[in-house]
Copies of this chain bind each other. A is one copy, B any other.
Amino acid sequence: MEPGVITAVLDRAAGAHGLRYAPDPASAALSTIGGNIATNAGGLRCAKYGVTRDSVLGLEAVLADGTVVGTGRRTVKGVTGYDLTALLTGSEGTLAVITSATVRLRPVPVATATLAAFFDSFEAAAEASYAIGRAGIEPALAELVDGPVLHAIDPALRERGAALLLVQCDGAGAAAEAEVVARVLAPSATAVETTTDPVEAESLLAARRLALPALERLGRPLIEDIAVPRSRLAEAVREIRAISARHDVPVFTIAHAADGNLHPIIVVDRSLPGLPDAAWEAAGEIFALALRLGGTLTGEHGVGVLKRQWVADELGPAAHALQRRIKRAFDPRGVLNPGKCL
- Chain A residues in the interface with B (C-beta under 8 A): 18, 39-40, 42, 46, 50-51, 53-54, 63, 67-71, 73-84, 86-87, 89-91, 95, 106-110, 133-138, 169, 171-177, 179-180, 227-230, 256, 258-261, 294-303, 307, 311, 314-316, 318-323, 325-330, 341-342
What are 10 inter-chain pairs, A to B, with CB distance below 8 A? Answer: A51-B77, A67-B318, A73-B227, A77-B296, A77-B299, A79-B298, A79-B303, A81-B341, A83-B87, A173-B173
**Which residues on the B side are within 8 Å of A76 (C-beta)?**
227, 230, 258-261
**Taking CB as reference atom, which chain B residue is nearest A315?**
B81
- Please pick, from B40, B171, B322, B330, the residue contacting A177 in the complex, using a CB distance under 8 A: B171
CA distance A252 to B89 in the complex (A): 37
Is B227 within 8 A of A77, CB to CB? yes
Residue in B40, B75, B307 whose beta carbon sits within 8 Å of that of A295 in the complex: B75
Complex: A235 Cα to B243 Cα, angstroms: 60
* Residues in chain B near residue A107, CB distance under 8 A: 133-138
Identify A18's interface contact among B110, B134, B301, CB under 8 A.
Answer: B134
CB distance from A309 to the nearest CB of B (A): 12
Instruction: Check B171–A299 contact: CB distance below 8 A.
Output: no
- Cα-based distance from A95 to B326 in the complex (angstroms): 12
In the bound assembly, the distance between CA atoms of A13 and B169 in angstroms comes to 29
Chain B residues lying within 8 Å of A295, measured Cβ to Cβ, are 73-75, 78
B77:A259 contact, CB within 8 angstroms: yes
Q: Give the chain B neighbours of A171 by CB distance below 8 A.
A: 136-138, 173, 177
Which single member of B42, B73, B77, B256 contacts A300 (CB below 8 Å)?
Answer: B77
Chain B positions within 8 Å of A318 at CB level: 63, 67-70
A40 cross-chain contacts in B, Cβ below 8 A: 79, 83
Residues of chain B within 8 A (CB-CB) of A319 are 69-71, 81, 84
Query: Measured between C-beta atoms, what is the minimum distance from A318 to chain B in Å?
Result: 4
Known: A82-B91, A86-B87, A329-B325. A75 touches B177 (CB 8 A): no
Contact of A75 among B53, B227, B322, B325 (CB under 8 A): B227
In whole Å, how far is A297's beta carbon from the nearest beta carbon of chain B? 5
User: What is the CA–CA distance of A81 and B109 in the complex, to the nearest angstrom?
Assistant: 33
How far, in angstroms, from A81 to B311 measured CA to CA in the complex? Answer: 7
> Which residues in B have their C-beta under 8 angstroms from that of A138?
106-107, 171
Give 7 nearest A-B pairs by CB, closest first. Answer: A173-B173, A86-B86, A78-B296, A329-B329, A107-B136, A75-B227, A77-B299
CB pair A80 B229 closer than 8 Å: no
B contact residues around A229 at 8 Å (CB)? 74-75
Cβ-closest chain B residue relative to A102: B294
* Nearest Cβ on chain B to A33's Cβ, whole angstroms: 16
Which residues of B sit under 8 angstroms from A230, Cβ to Cβ?
Answer: 75-76
Residue of chain B at shortest CB distance from A314: B80
Q: Contact: B228 with A75, CB < 8 Å?
A: yes
Shortest CB-to-CB span from A17 to chain B, Å, is 9
Contact A299 B75 (CB under 8 A): yes
Do residues A77 and B303 form an inter-chain contact, with CB atoms below 8 A? Answer: no
